[in-house]
Structures are given as C-alpha cells and as structure tokens.
Structure 1
Amino acid sequence: MAKHKIYTMSFASVYPHYITKAEKKGRTKTEVDEIIRWLTGYNQEELEAQLDKQTDFETFFAEAPQLNPSRALIKGVVCGVRVEDIEEPTMQEIRYLDKMVDELAKGKALEKILRK
C-alpha cells in the first residue's frame, strides 16, 4: 500500500496553516508552538530547525525527542475520523496535532488542550 501523501509533505508547508487557523480565532503562533512542543518534545530551537530543514511529516514525528504520553487522552473527530481509532501511528500523531489546533481555534483553554 502506498504511503499517504501527507507523510511526504514538509511540515513547514502545513505549519503556516496551523498558525492562520489559530490567529483567525484570536489565538497566537506562540500557543500553536506550545502545542507542538508539548506533543513532540521538541524545544523551540529544534522546532524551528525542523521547519528550516523542510522536514516531512513522517520524519518530523519519527525524530520527535519525546512524544507526550498524555497524547493518548486526545479524543474526538478530525476530518470525520475518531483520532483514538486511527491504527497507523504516524497518521494518528498528525491527527492528534490537527485536533489540538482545532481545539485552540475553537477557544478551548490551553491547559485543557494540553490535558493538564
């Protein structure tokens, strides 16, 4: 089976869309970055280096320093699919991030998004 197209897309090409989605709803780039750092374990410098390198999604998540164990608490539907039911690990990580950015854009408190 062929890999999904999103795996080979650069994370940097989608990142601005996360920022735009959040900013349209009065949220900030800083909050989006905090979500990404929480999910992946990258620090800000490492995140920016991944963006500069145009790292693809598959590599971005494969090289993540420490995927947050609390990410399993992320539940809900993204693109018509329940994130907790996605069996392919990389796709599930991508959808976790999508879900968290959606929650941010919907005005949810950052502490709740970060499952604190």
Structure 2
Amino acid sequence: MGRMNLRTIKFSKVYPLYVQKAERKQRTQEEVDDVICWLTGYHDGGLRDQIERETDFETFFEEAPCLHPNRAQIKGVICGYRVEDIEDPFEQKVRYLDKLIDELAKGKALEKIKRA
C-alpha cells in the first residue's frame, strides 16, 4: 500500500482525532484549537468554517490567513520524520501541526508549544 496523499485528506476527518488525542491526556478542545490557530492564523470562526466545508489539508493550508513566523522553531520527530528536515513545504506544514498536537498531548505548556 502506498503512502496516503496528505493533500486530499479532509481536515474535518483528522480534527476529531487531534481532539481525542489531546483529551485522552487531560487537554481540551480549546487548547487544540488554540494551537491550530496559532500555527495557521485562523480565528475560531475560520477554523469552524474549514471543518464545516470539509476542506482537504491542501485547501486548509492554502486558505490559512498567516502561517506563524515562529513555525520554523518546531523541531523534533513525528511519524518517524524529523520535521525540520522535511523538504516538501506542504508536508512540513502538516507535520508541524501533528507535532504541535503531540506536544500538547505530552503535557507541554501552551507557551512553550507556541514558541513564546
């Protein structure tokens, strides 16, 4: 089986998994939203709109108002890849998001996750 095409995966299908992962570790949906909005520049309404429209990851990132300038400070391994070394800019954005959710689930403070 080949790798899934990240571009065509619906954000609305992955979002509940992010929330579940966080909630299993006593974090909240609000914290998940906060982290997603920090990375993408969406406000809560824009994030909800993406979920309701069932946009794919490609559209989700294309329509993101402003990717955070500190996103390059997100480092480490996610899904077996070192995020800072991923060459495909699109895949790197998806993995940045995965990594932030992972850090949230591991109990990292929001200020640290947001590279404050």
TM-score normalised per structure 2: 0.96
Question: Match for residue 52 of structure 2?
Answer: 52
Corresponding residue for residue 31 of structure 2:
31
Alignment: residue pair count:
114
Q: Which residue of 2 aligns with 1:106?
A: 106
> Once superposed, what is the RMSD of the aligned Cα atoms?
1.0
Partner of 2:42: 42
Mind listing any 5+ residue stretches in structure 1 that lack a counterpart? none
| Pairing 1:64–2:80 present | no
Q: TM-score, normalised by structure 1?
A: 0.96
Per-residue CA deviations over 1:79-104 (Å, capped at 9, x if unaligned) read: 11100000111100000000000000
Give the whole-Å Cα distance in 2 for the aligned partners of 1:37 and 1:90. Answer: 17
Tell me the residue number matched to 1:18. 18
Distance 1:90 1:62 in 2: 9
Distance 2:41 2:107 in 1: 24
* CA positional deviation for 1:52: 0.3
How far apart are the structure 1 equivalents of 2:5 and 2:31? Answer: 27
Aligned partner of residue 59 in structure 1, secondary structure? helix
Q: CA deviation at 1:4?
A: 5.0
For 1:1-56, what per-residue CA distance to the aligned partner results, in whole angstroms no more than 9, with x for missing partners?
xx951210110000000000000000000000000000000000000000000000
SS at match of 1:66: coil
Runs of 4+ in 1 over 6 A off after TM superposition: none
Q: Which runs of 5+ in 2 are unaligned?
A: none
